[in-house]
Structure 1
Amino acid sequence: MFVLVEMVDTVRIPPWSFHRHLNDAIAEELNKKLANKVVFNVGLCVCLHDITQLEDSYIFPGDGASHTKVHFRYVVFRPFLDEILVGKIKGCSAEGVHVSLGLFDDIVIPPESLQQPAKFDEAEQVWVWEYETDEGAHDLYMDQGEEIRFRVVDEVFIDTSPSGPGAEKEGPSAAAAPPAEPEDKQAPYTLVVRFNTPLNEATVTMEPVPPTVCL
């Protein structure tokens, strides 16, 4: 579920932090920049593990801060394919079952990915699995707080970095153009998961966590 990723970044230390030990100041800045952020094709950053190398620090004209190139290892949440995870049901809605792993809560399993046949109880606001036995069907309620197990089968990264203005927006006519409609918000990191049965697949989405560009 968690992996160590080697990274390289240039860290800026402001003058008011010069009295601190350099490693402590750098660790704080790295965690401010990366913790709880998604790095494209890397995963969800959790916390700094250690600093492996510090290169020379520089102070540039017009900037009183120091700039140090740092080699470090960061703890990243990135489940392996075919890894089985266990979460807890946070709640249910007509859109599906909402699950939490503790690390993040934005996990939704859509209705078509639940154990079938399944139905949504509007009165109780829970999903119900109509489990068939020799004695007939039994309703198994997916209550809040119950554990649920699923398998990771795929992952999708989307670069959600803001793009600059296009060339077509330049010129006098750009001022008269109506404002563009906001695009649908996309999650930068998505896990495709399923239950033990091959046909049951679900989508796990981490959001809102804007991507962080490092290296």
Structure 2
Amino acid sequence: MFILTKIADLVQIAPEDFGKQSHAAIEDNLNAKYANKVVQKIGLFICLWDIVWTSEGLIGQGDGYANVNGKLTVALVECRMVVFRPFKGEVIVARIASQTRDGINLATDFFHDIFIPWTELPEGSEFDSQEGLWVWKVDEQEMFYDNNEMVRFQVLSEEWHDQTPSGPLDMADQPASELLPPYKITGSMKAPGLGCALWWEE
């Protein structure tokens, strides 16, 4: 579910941060830039793990910033970041956020774009329009997928959507409701042991 990814980058330390230890200032800047952001084809950056190597800071002309150059040909800041990117087939625990006829939306404490389509629910599952919940009918019992319930699901696929704006007119013409999330996970709760965790407790 979590991986370590090594990156190299240019870090600018503002004059007001000169009083900090250099590694602390670099760590604060890297966390501010990457934490809780999705990078295409890499995943959701959680936090800095460690700093592998960094060069001395260089004061630029005219701005007073200390520039630690991340280019391989000059000076290097290398670090490892904790990234959320589950692998296909991995079983994860999440919480039911909402439900529609199309399926169930799940969320963890830090990631909210997980979807279970109705075709990936166990056989015998039906949508109760009055309750607004999915229910699994098995052996004359009704097992409800209650909102805020903890569930286990298996990762089926991931989707990436580039959110780089192509221009102000294009962004104005597209309603906010139609904007796709930068990173989306599709899962399944068909297999035994998946679904609401309470169902499988002794």
TM-score, scaled relative to structure 1: 0.75
Q: Hey, which bits of structure 1, 4+ residues long, moved more than 4 A? A: none
Return the alpha-carbon distance in structure 1 between the equivalents of residues 7 and 166 of structure 2: 24
Structure 1 counterpart of 2:200: none
The alpha-carbon distance between structure 1 residues 39 and 20, as it changes in their structure 2 partners (threshold 3 A), is same
Contact kept? 1:128, 1:140, Cα under 8 Å: yes
Cα RMSD for the two superposed structures: 2.4
1:181 is matched with 173
Per the alignment, residue 117 of structure 1 pairs with 124
In the other structure, the counterpart of 1:22 is: 22
| Correspondence list, 1:1-215, <5 A | 1-69=1-69, 70-131=77-138, 133=139, 137-164=140-167, 181-182=173-174, 184-197=178-191
Contact 1:91 1:143 in 2 (8 A): no
Using the TM superposition, give the Cα deviation of residue 100 of structure 1 relative to its aligned residue in structure 2, in angstroms. 2.1
Deviation at 1:107, TM superposition (A): 2.6
CA distance in 2, matches of 1:30, 1:188: 20
Alignment partners' CA distance in 1, 2:143 and 2:3: 36
**Is the 8 Å Cα contact of residues 96 and 107 (structure 2) preserved in structure 1?**
yes
Once residues 17 and 172 of structure 2 are traced to their aligned partners in structure 1, the CA distance between those partners, rounded to angstroms, is 43
8 Å CA contact 2:107–2:114 kept in 1: the answer is: yes
CA distance in 2, matches of 1:151, 1:104: 16
Uncovered stretches (5+) of structure 1, i.e. residues with no partner: 170-178, 198-215
- Cα distance in 2 between the residues matched to 1:163 and 1:118: 42
Q: Which residue is 1:208 aligned to?
A: none
Structure 1 vs Structure 2: percent identity of aligned residues? Answer: 36
CA distance in 1, matches of 2:184, 2:47: 20
- CA distance change for structure 1 residues 180 and 72 in 2, over 3 Å: closer, same or farther? closer
State how far apart, in whole Å, the 1-side matches of 2:118 and 2:189 are. Answer: 13
TM-score, reference length from structure 2: 0.79
Count of aligned residue pairs for this structure pair: 182
